[in-house]
Structure 1
Amino acid sequence: MSDELEIDIDALGKRMDGALNALRQEFASLRTGRASASMLDPVMVEAYGSPTPVNQLGTITVPEPRMVLVNIWDKSLVNAVDKAIRNSGLGINPQMDGTILRLPIPELNEERRRDLARVAGQYAENARIAVRNVRRDGMDQLKKAKSAGMAEDDHKIWTEEVQELTNAAIGKIDAALEAKQDEIMQI
């Protein structure tokens, strides 16, 4: 077996882990009825001519379990941040107080919890697709190696290893999804 393929297998594993890390970040942005500064991570504000994350325009703090405060540094951007948060789909209506936006986190009802669980499922499916794309890339590399003279036995061993990596990554994604859905549905 060549060392090149081992490096490729390691790279495939890292790419699959990257999909899982991206999923965890998306999960962190899902609201579960408790305030979290990371819930504003996906919110982009049109500022200074380009989309900018809220956390680069002000300080985000969580003083209470059901309240997020955003202290905007540039007074001229307060309305833009307010509008971006309202249009983000988070279901939060900011209250302006000078350069401070108060974001009261409402109690989640059963319907909203189901919607969030569905969104978490969509995020997990996107992560599974990313893992399967990495698997496909690995299998393409193995086909090229086989046509370049790789032994049949070596090809089979490497194919099984890529499949094991894929199964492990998808298992981690499913476990993360189940944990997040349990957290969302918890009252």
Structure 2
Amino acid sequence: MTETAGRMDRAVEAAKEDFATVRTGRANPQLFQKINVEYYGSPTPLAQLASLNTPEARTIIVTPYDKTALKAIEQAIRDVPNLGVNPTNDGNIVRVTMPELTADRRKEYVKIVRSKGEDAKVHVRGIRRKAKDDLDALKSDIGEDELARAEKELDALTRAHVDAIDEALKRKEAELLEV
């Protein structure tokens, strides 16, 4: 049960990280966490190549540690689908100005977030299914009462984690629809 709870906790955290990568009206450095830059022939996470700052509500400044990676960083940011930004490079930093979201674009992002939330819930239910199979395999070693108690505990654990995903989803939707 402890292992199952840990796996479900990690699934909820992964869902929250996924939600953070969907852009809202404000600039958020977490949008850039999953961007890989082609650096000396290997894909490298942007966070390892540069520092990310948000001096204004809709601007992100990317300051590379190695100035030779500036063009590659700019190109990697430009190539990200669903971000809709056009980074500018001044020779020292890459400035990314987030455009204002339209109502249609906000609704589209809500659909994306809901899809990610549903995927996370399916993952939690898959963890539950595996734990249930493990409990059924132990049926001969433990009694019926102990098995029933463990199943109730597993259901409560699953419900709590699904509710946590729903709560994070609700917060993200509210953030997306906020003008």
- Which of 102, 105, 109 is 1:116 aligned to? 109
Equivalent residue, structure 1, for 2:52 = 60
Equivalent residue, structure 2, for 1:5 = none
Shift of the alpha carbon at 1:53? 1.2
Gaps of 5+ in 1: 1-8
Q: TM-score normalized by structure 1? A: 0.91
Structure 2: how far apart are the matches of 1:178 and 1:60?
Answer: 27
Tell me, yes or no, if structure 1 residue 155 matches structure 2 residue 147. Answer: yes
Contact 1:45 1:81 in 2 (8 A): yes
Tell me, yes or no, if structure 1 residue 185 matches structure 2 residue 177. Answer: yes
- Superposed CA deviations along residues 121-169 of structure 1, whole A, max 9, x for unmatched, are 12211211221111011101101100x3321111111111111111111
Shift of the alpha carbon at 1:24? 1.2
Amino acid at match of 1:120: V
Equivalent residue, structure 1, for 2:123 = 130
- Which of 136, 142, 162 is 1:143 aligned to? 136
Gaps of 5+ in 2: none
Shift of the alpha carbon at 1:99? 2.8
Structure 1 vs Structure 2 CA RMSD: 1.2
Amino acid at match of 2:165: I
Shift of the alpha carbon at 1:76? 2.4
Shift of the alpha carbon at 1:10? 1.6
Amino acid at match of 1:33: G
Contact 1:46 1:52 in 2 (8 A): yes
Structure 2: how far apart are the matches of 1:11 and 1:181?
Answer: 31
Equivalent residue, structure 2, for 1:27 = 19
Shift of the alpha carbon at 1:73? 2.2
Structure 2: how far apart are the matches of 1:69 and 1:152?
Answer: 60
- Superposed CA deviations along residues 42-99 of structure 1, whole A, max 9, x for unmatched, are 1111113322111111111111111000012222222211111111121111011103
Tell me, yes or no, if structure 1 residue 49 matches structure 2 residue 41. Answer: yes
Number of residue pairs aligned between Structure 1 and Structure 2: 178
Structure 2: how far apart are the matches of 1:85 and 1:20?
Answer: 27
Equivalent residue, structure 2, for 1:106 = 99
Structure 1: how far apart are the matches of 2:45 and 2:34?
Answer: 7
Contact 1:73 1:99 in 2 (8 A): no
Structure 2: how far apart are the matches of 1:156 and 1:82?
Answer: 56
User: 2:138 is paired with a residue of what secondary structure?
Assistant: helix
- Superposed CA deviations along residues 16-37 of structure 1, whole A, max 9, x for unmatched, are 1111111111122221110111
Amino acid at match of 2:65: W
Q: TM-score normalized by structure 2? A: 0.95
Percent pairwise identity: 37
Displaced runs of 4 or more, over 6 A: none
